[in-house]
Amino acid sequence: MMTLFRRRPGEAVSTRDMMIASIPILIAVSLCVWIMVRFARPLPPDTIVMITGSADGAYQRFALRYQSILRQHGVKLELRESSGAVENLDRLKDPNSGVDVGFVQTGLAKADGEQALVSLGSLFYEPVWIFYRSDATLDRMIQLVSRRVAVGEPGSGTRALADMLLDANELTPAMVTLLPIGGEAAANALFAGDIDTAFYVGAPESPVIQKLIGNPDVKLMSVTIADAYSRRFPFLTALTLPQGSMDLVREYPRQNTQLFAPTATLIARENLHPALISLLLQAASEVHSGAGPFHRVRDFPAPRDGDFPLSSEAQRFYKSGPPFLQRYLPFWVAALVDRLLFLLLPIIAIALPLLRVMPSLYSWRVRRRIYRWYGELKVLELEMRAQQDRSRVGQFLERLDRIEDRAFRRTLPLAFHNEMYTLREHINLVRHTLDKWNEVTAGASRSSAAAVESRP
> What is the per-residue pLDDT for 453?
57
> What is the per-residue pLDDT for 12?
45
331 phi/psi in degrees, rounded to 5: -55, -50
Question: What is the CA 136 to chain-centroid distance, rounded?
Answer: 57
> What is the per-residue pLDDT for 159?
93
Percent of the chain having pLDDT more than 70? 83
Percent of the chain having pLDDT more than 90? 48
Q: Quick one: average pLDDT of 381-389?
A: 77
Residues 6+ apart with CB under 8 A from 112: none
CATH of domain 127-261: 3.40.190.10
| In the predicted structure, residue 446 carries a pLDDT above the cut 60 | no
CA-nearest of 61, 58, 63, 83 to 204 is 58
Over residues 295-345, the pLDDT tens digits come to 999 999 999 867 899 999 999 999 999 988 888 889 888 888 887 777 677
* C-beta of residue 236 within 8 angstroms of C-beta of residue 264: no
Over residues 192-217, the pLDDT tens digits come to 999 999 999 999 988 899 889 878 88
> What is the per-residue pLDDT for 456?
55
* C-beta of residue 240 within 8 angstroms of C-beta of residue 258: yes
Q: pLDDT-based confidence at 6, cuts 50/70/90?
A: very low
Over residues 174-183, the pLDDT tens digits come to 999 999 999 9
* C-beta of residue 297 within 8 angstroms of C-beta of residue 289: yes
Can you tell me the distance from the alpha carbon of 334 to that of 339, in angstroms, rounded to the nearest whole number? Answer: 9
| In the predicted structure, residue 13 carries a pLDDT above the cut 60 | no
| In the predicted structure, residue 401 carries a pLDDT above the cut 90 | no
Query: Among the listed ranges 41-45, 128-132, 153-157, which one has the minimum average pLDDT value?
Result: 41-45
* Sheet bearing 101-105, strands edge to edge: 76-80, 47-51, 101-105, 263-269, 117-125
> What is the per-residue pLDDT for 328?
87
Residues 6+ apart with CB under 8 A from 7: 14, 15, 16, 411
Omega before 253 cis (within 30°)?
yes
**What's the mean per-residue pLDDT of the chain?**
84
Is the pTM here over 0.85, yes or no?
Answer: no
Over residues 22-73, the pLDDT tens digits come to 677 677 667 766 666 666 667 899 999 999 988 888 899 999 999 999 999 9
Omega before 301 cis (within 30°)?
yes
Over residues 87-129, the pLDDT tens digits come to 999 999 998 999 999 999 999 876 454 468 999 999 999 999 9
DSSP designation for 174: T
- Helix or strand or coil: residue 152? coil
> What is the per-residue pLDDT for 382?
84
Q: Using CB atoms within 10 A of its CB, is residue 392 exposed (0-12), middle (13-18) or buried (19+)?
A: middle
Q: For residue 321, give Cα distances in angstroms to 73, 240, 284, 371.
A: 17, 30, 12, 61
Can you tell me the distance from the alpha carbon of 49 to that of 391, in angstroms, rounded to the nearest whole number? Answer: 96
More confident: 50 or 388:
50
